[in-house]
Structure formats: structure tokens, C-alpha cells
Amino acid sequence: MDFDELYKLILMGDPCVGKTNLLSRFSQNKFIHEHKSTIGVEFATRDVDIDNKIIRLQIWETGGYERYRAIPSSMYRNAIGAFIVYDITSIRTFENAIEKWIKELRDYTKDRDVVIMLVGNKTDLSQQR
């Protein structure tokens, strides 16, 4: 399918906060019950129709484990937005989202206009907060 515009987005955050499931749910409408660590970078696309234009969203997910952080800065190039994900049942993942992941995004992106959205995930576990 052809598209009119292409937008690159990044999913970032600590390990096990649910980035892979957010990507899977958005791109394929699937929920993955078994946990599998992302090694390096995952990638998915989804086309959406906005005002009679086909917009292709290119979503890149970074692995959260330090040992897989050898991600080239080129992954960040041309990103228009980033979703920084944290687990609502873990205050540490929230603190890292604020302190670590926003800094990393700013360090690797040259465009200061990158839109950042902080995403609290695992809301189905709110009783464990």
C-alpha cells in the first residue's frame, strides 16, 4: 500500500515495562502473554488514515537491558516522537523514565522538537501500585 507521509516513532523504557506488548497491540492488535526480552531493536509499521491521507507510522522499540544498549544513534534520526514507557507498579521504572530515558533521547536526537509522551503501562495491575 502506498502512503502519503511517513512518521518515525520510538518506544523506550526499562526492561519488562511492556514496550513489546504496546508495539504488538498497536501494529497487529495482538497481546503477547509470554515474556520475551527484546534484544537490540524491534520494528513495526502501521498505516492510519487521517483526513484522507495515508500516514505510515514506523515504530522502533529499543531493548531496555543495558547489555543490549549498543543501539546506533541512527535509530533516533528523524524520529518525530518518543513514547517513554514505565510500569505503574514500579516507581523505579518511573524514575528511570524521567531521569535516564529522556536524557538518552535528548542526547541522541538533534531535533529538540521531538514530542515526548510518558506512558504508564500495566494499568490492569493498578491494585499492585
Domain boundaries, the chain: 5-128
Q: Are residues 62 and 71 in contact, defined by beta-carbon separation less than 8 angstroms? A: yes
Task: Write the single-letter amino acid at 119.
Answer: V
- Residue 70 in this model has a pLDDT that exceeds 60: no
- Residue 88 in this model has a pLDDT that exceeds 60: yes
Q: Could you identify the residue written with the cell 535509530? A: 75
Average pLDDT over residues 100-118: 86
Q: Which residues pair with 43 in a beta bridge?
A: 60
Average pLDDT over residues 28-43: 74
Q: In what order do the strands lie in the sheet with 41-50?
A: 41-50, 53-62, 5-13, 79-87, 115-121
- Residue 105 in this model has a pLDDT that exceeds 90: no
Average pLDDT over residues 28-37: 75
Task: Write the single-letter amino acid at 121.
Answer: N
Q: Give DSSP secondary structure letters for 24-60.
A: HHHHHS----S-----SEEEEEEEEEETTEEEEEEEE
CA 66/CA 8 separation, integer angstroms: 23
CATH number of 5-128: 3.40.50.300
- Predicted pLDDT of residue 67: 53
